Amino acid sequence: MAEKFFDYIIHGGDYNPDQWIKTPEIWDEDMRLMKLAHVNSATVGIFSWAALEPEEGIYNFEWLDKILDKMHENGIAAILATPSGARPAWLAQKYPEVLRVEENGIRNEFGVRHNHCLTSPIYREKVRNINRMLAERYKNHPAVKMWHISNEYSGECHCELCQQAFRNWLREHYHNDIDELNFKWWNGFWAHTLTDFEQINSPKSRGENHITALYLAWNRFLTDSHISFYENEIAPLREITPHIPVTTNFMRHYNGIDYQKFASHVDLVSWDNYPHWDKGKNLDEAFEAAFLHDFFRTLKKGQPFFLMESTPSQVNWHDVNKLPKSGMHELSSIQAVAHGADSIQYFQWRKSRGGHEKYHGAVVDHCGHENTRVFRDVTRLGQTLEKLGKITGTEVKSRVAVIYDWENGWAVDAFCGFNNSRRDYVSETVKWCAPFYRRGINIDVISMQDDFSEYDAVVAPFLYMLKDGTEERIEQYVKSGGVFAATYLTGLVDKDDMCFLGGFPAGKLKDVFGIWCEETDALPENMPGKAEFGGKLYDINHVCDIIHSNGAKILGTYKSDFYAGMPCVTKNSYGNGKAYYAAFRNDSDFADDFCRMLIDENEIKTDCGIETADGVLIRKRGEYIFVMNFSDEEREVTLDKEYQNVITNETANGKITLPVCGYTVLR
Ligand code: GAL
């Protein structure tokens, strides 16, 4: 059993009572409605700085005292936020350095949110100060159970303070040696050789934007800046409230911060999930959500995570904000729990009356009462979550890992060459996760620096960059019996995007895979090539490696162009293990067919014995088995033995029928 923070599943969401200070009767109504909806938690204070400190040094905590007391009286836990995500106007007016400078060199005016300089000493001091006040005041408040730091850290600032911080960061990382940096960035190209760190600026469209190494360094610097900003925020909380766990909400596809690095700084990983259930491709969306849940869960392996935000209804920021059908919200939330979530939370509890998000879905709509479809959906889910309370803290165990490496993602996006129009690192990774999801096989989503040794198989789509030691660790893993599968464009560059010499994939990997890649072809969208594997013909979409076998068994060959007859899928025995190479990209079912072979040949077992049906995803968490219908039709699943239905407490065996959006939890 992993660490658990609550004995029950947290069900609640972002709550902004400060928007309703003038109508405190609404607060009482909120308490009644929360209990009715089986909501047991609310996250307060996320954007409350102006309400807490209306003028510099003048504080008003009374409203927060009152609401926290009310929450406690009503059995609602508080996740208390620090307010740095949106600063008050007086602060921006008096200290303009707290505002961000855009890439174009212009300082932003006061407005929107998430618009602060990460380096500004004044902003850091002001944040520390308000956080200290909150910690002192509420350190013993019985409602306060967790800290929610700021909100969705993101973005970048190009002010002179940040430029200096970046140059110092570079000095530290390149041993204060400009020649080392020149070599690693290959600055002899286009006469970019530098003589001083002071000559370096952040990447900009009107300045340097063609050196991938600069872009990688800038992203690494931004990650470290966010972490140090966060550490500054939590310093007073660690000192005054060491008993209260700390988290900050990560974002679905935000790639500006390396979450694989940030995660070690939080007590619990939490993230915000907004799937597009309205696109009419629910199974694809479910694969992507599954991948994201597994990614965020694996950031702190062995621990559950929190789903910090989701919408109980529609969002307001798509072009067209279609309402999800009834049942989808429940199924989507249950999927999170199946993948390791110990909380289901919403943005937002009550719709704001004005402002930019007044039409964003909420548990309580502008009508203000409980007689709505969304309120009923949320209530039903709340009742179900109460029945699943014992699952909290239960680990998800996986025998298979898929590598999705954050820094590799930056490099994949940035380099220029081959097919510049299609990289799709996220969707390519999801494509290689889906075959395991289809077959009820749990996976962890790891970085290239994680330990491979505990997995029976590791799949590494598009592992273009190899950070220090990765080549050796893959070699060791396969040598000692591991199964490793890689795809096209593997092992081309080091962590500064400098190419390895001596042929791809780098160094020893040529022996591990028993292949050598001579060239890489890029194919226009409307001119796919052909490749054959397992007696079936596939399109080659966008890109393929032209490889030679140096001892690897050839499992498939190209059927088009001048490389017809050359290998496109290989398998090599190396030491006690096996290394597979899938040299081409295909946008239909090749990844699924390939993984079926991998699973069968290597006898990778499903995590439970239930045979799944098309569009039904099965997931095991501890002793709980979640069977979820993401197809557009009713589905039947045959159970392999007798189970207990955890929600109804009844015995389940034989065939079970799942309606559209239907699910069951068995034990
Ligand atoms: C999140 C954000 C929330 C709210 C929500 C709307 O990204 O953290 O404050 O804006 O989006 O979907």
Domain ranges of the chain: 400-601, 616-666
Q: Ligand 1: which of 44, 272, 352 to mutate, judged by most atoms within 8 Å of the beta carbon?
A: 272
Distance 347 CA to ligand 1 centre (A): 6
Ligand 1, atom nearest to 251 Cα: 7
Residue the block writes with tokens 């030491």: 575
Q: Ligand 1: which of 19, 48, 152 to mutate, judged by most atoms within 8 Å of the beta carbon?
A: 152
Bridge partners, 44 (sequence order): 15, 80
- Using DSSP, how many helices (H) and how many strands (E) does the chain show? 17, 27
Q: What percent of the chain has pLDDT over 70?
A: 100
The alpha carbon of 324 is separated from its chain's Cα centroid by a whole number of angstroms, namely 22
Residue type present at position 528: P
Element holding 533 (H helix, E strand): strand 529-533
Q: What is the pTM of this model?
A: 0.97
- 3.40.50.300, 3.40.50.2000, 3.40.50.880, 1.10.150.300: CATH of 400-601: 3.40.50.880
Q: What percent of the chain has pLDDT over 90?
A: 97
Distance 537 CA to ligand 1 centre (A): 44
Q: How far apart are CA 48 and CA 71, in angstroms?
A: 17
Q: Looking at the predicted structure, is the pLDDT value of residue 400 above 60?
A: yes
Distance 315 CA to ligand 1 centre (A): 9
Residue type present at position 177: D
What is the per-residue pLDDT for 2? 64
The alpha carbon of 167 is separated from its chain's Cα centroid by a whole number of angstroms, namely 29
Q: Is 407 a catalytic residue?
A: no
Catalytic residue, from 288, 309, 407, 471: name it: 309
Catalytic residue, from 152, 233, 370, 471: name it: 152
Residue type present at position 97: E
Closest CA to 495 of 300, 291, 258: 258
Using DSSP, state whether 499 is helix, strand or coil: strand
What is the per-residue pLDDT for 650? 96
Distance 234 CA to ligand 1 centre (A): 22
Contact 296, 260 (CB under 8 A): no
Distance 194 CA to ligand 1 centre (A): 42
Q: What average pLDDT does this structure show over 457-482?
A: 98
User: What's the length of the chain?
Assistant: 667
Q: Ligand 1: which of 251, 313, 347, 359 to mutate, judged by most atoms within 8 Å of the beta carbon?
A: 347
Predicted confidence band at 489 (pLDDT cuts at 50, 70, 90)?
very high
Predicted confidence band at 211 (pLDDT cuts at 50, 70, 90)?
very high
Using DSSP, state whether 375 is helix, strand or coil: helix
Q: Looking at the predicted structure, is the pLDDT value of residue 390 above 60?
A: yes
- 3.30.930.10, 2.60.40.1180, 3.30.1330.60, 3.40.50.2300: CATH of 616-666: 2.60.40.1180
Tell me how far CA of residue 330 lies from CA of 34, 277, 325, 406, 661, in angstroms.
17, 12, 10, 30, 8
Q: Whose CA is nearest to atom 4 of ligand 1?
A: 347
Predicted confidence band at 370 (pLDDT cuts at 50, 70, 90)?
very high
Cis peptide before 142 (omega within 30 of 0): no
Q: Hey, what's the torsion of the CAs at 139, 141, 147, 148, to 10 degrees?
A: -130
What secondary structure, in 3-state letters, does 67-115 show? HHHHHHHCCCEEEEECCCCCCCHHHHHHCHHHECECCCCCECCCCCCCC
Q: Looking at the predicted structure, is the pLDDT value of residue 3 above 80?
A: no
Beta-strand runs (E) in 356-437: 400-403
Ligand 1, atom nearest to 317 Cα: 12
Q: Looking at the predicted structure, is the pLDDT value of residue 326 above 90?
A: no
Q: Whose CA is nearest to atom 12 of ligand 1?
A: 315
Q: Ligand 1: which of 309, 315, 351 to mutate, judged by most atoms within 8 Å of the beta carbon?
A: 309
Q: Looking at the predicted structure, is the pLDDT value of residue 138 above 90?
A: yes
Q: How far apart are CA 491 and CA 509, in angstroms?
A: 8
Q: What average pLDDT does this structure show over 508-516?
A: 98
Ligand 1, atom nearest to 47 Cα: 9
Q: Looking at the predicted structure, is the pLDDT value of residue 27 above 90?
A: yes
Ligand 1, atom nearest to 249 Cα: 8
Distance 502 CA to ligand 1 centre (A): 48
Closest CA to 328 of 285, 365, 362: 285
Distance 118 CA to ligand 1 centre (A): 20
Q: Looking at the predicted structure, is the pLDDT value of residue 279 above 90?
A: no
Q: How far apart are CA 83 and CA 53, in angstroms?
A: 10
pLDDT in tens, 240-278: 999 999 999 999 989 999 999 999 999 999 999 999 987
Q: Looking at the predicted structure, is the pLDDT value of residue 547 above 60?
A: yes
Distance 46 CA to ligand 1 centre (A): 11
Ligand 1, atom nearest to 46 Cα: 9
pLDDT in tens, 411-443: 999 999 999 999 999 999 999 999 999 999 999
What is the per-residue pLDDT for 4? 82
- Mean confidence (pLDDT) of the chain: 97
Contact 142, 67 (CB under 8 A): no
Q: Whose CA is nearest to atom 3 of ligand 1?
A: 347
Q: How far apart are CA 240 and CA 237, in angstroms?
A: 5
What is the per-residue pLDDT for 200? 98
Q: Is 3 a catalytic residue?
A: no
Residue type present at position 452: F
pLDDT in tens, 81-112: 999 999 999 999 999 999 999 999 999 999 99
Q: Whose CA is nearest to atom 5 of ligand 1?
A: 347
Q: How far apart are CA 412 and CA 466, in angstroms?
A: 12
Q: How far apart are CA 86 and CA 47, in angstroms?
A: 6
Residues with CB under 6 A from ligand 1: 151-152, 272, 274, 309, 315, 347, 357, 360
User: What is the distance in angstroms between the CA of the first residue and the CA of the last residue of the chain?
Assistant: 17
Distance 438 CA to ligand 1 centre (A): 31
Distance 287 CA to ligand 1 centre (A): 22
Q: What average pLDDT does this structure show over 179-205?
A: 97
